A and B are shown apart, each in its own frame.
Chain A
Amino acid sequence: GAGVSQTPSNKVTEKGKYVELRCDPISGHTALYWYRQSLGQGPEFLIYFQGTGAADDSGLPNDRFFAVRPEGSVSTLKIQRTERGDSAMYLCASSAMQGPYEQYFGPGTRLTVT
C-alpha cells in the first residue's frame, strides 16, 4: 500500500515568511509524528498526534511552530516568521497506534530559509 507522503518535497522561503508543510500518513494509522533532521544529525522529535489531538508537543522549539490534524489523518506543520535556523529536513512518520510501535517515515520536506 501507499506509504507516508509529504508535500512539498522542497520549500525555499525568505526569512520572516510563513510556511506550511503537509503530511499524509499511511491509511488507518492513528498516530502521526513530526521530526526535524539537521545535516549529520539524527531526527529530533517535534510533536505527535493520536487521532486529532496533540499527545505531546514538547519538542516544538517555540511558539512560531504549530501543527494540526483536524480530521485525524492529514497533518500540517505551520511555521510563522521563519528564521534561517529553521532550515532543515522536516520528517513525518506514522504508526498504527500510539505507543511503542513501528514508525514509518515519509520522504521529508527540505526547508531552506534564505
Chain B
Amino acid sequence: GENVEQHPSTLSVQEGDSAVIKCTYSDSASNYFPWYKQELGKRPQLIIDIRSNVGEKKDQRIAVTLNKTAKHFSLHITETQPEDSAVYFCAANAGGTSYGKLTFGQGTILTVHP
C-alpha cells in the first residue's frame, strides 16, 4: 500500500519568513496530493491540493510543487504569519480502484513567532 513520509516533524520560523514542508510517497499510481491544516482541537482543513498532471499550484501565499519522477511534493508558505501556526499534513491517494482513499503523513508542527 501507499506510504507517505513527511519532514520536518517540527518547524519554527519568524513572522515574514518562508516555510517549506516536504513529503515523499511510494505508490507511483497516486495522482492526487492534498494538504491539510489542523489547528489544536479542530478538524483538518483542506488548504491546497495538486493533481499529477501539473507540477505546481499557487493560492496567494501558499504553493505546492510536485515531482512525479522523484515521488515527492512540497508545501511552500511565504510571508508567514502567526495565524499560520498549526499542524500541517500532506496526503496521497491510493492507486488502483481505491483511488479515493488517502494516506496521510505524520504531520509537521509549524510555529510562526511574531
Partner-B contacts on A (CB < 8 A): 31, 33, 35, 40-45, 48, 50, 55-56, 58-59, 91, 95, 98-108
**Residues of chain B with a CB closer than 8 A to A105's CB:** 36, 43-46
Question: Interface on B for A, CB 8 Å cutoff?
Answer: 6, 31-32, 34, 36, 42-46, 49, 51, 89, 91, 93-94, 98-107
B45 → chain A closest CB, angstroms: 7
Given the complex, which residues of A lie within 8 Å of B107, measured CB to CB?
40-42
Within the assembled complex, what's the spacing in Å between the Cα atoms of A31 and B102? Answer: 13
Q: Can you report 20 residue pairs joining A to B where beta carbons are below 8 Å apart?
A: A31-B100, A33-B102, A42-B89, A42-B91, A42-B105, A43-B104, A44-B104, A50-B100, A56-B94, A56-B98, A56-B100, A98-B100, A99-B99, A99-B100, A100-B93, A100-B99, A102-B49, A105-B44, A107-B43, A108-B43
Chain A hits for B104, CB < 8 A: 42-44
- The closest CB in chain A to the CB of B45 belongs to A105
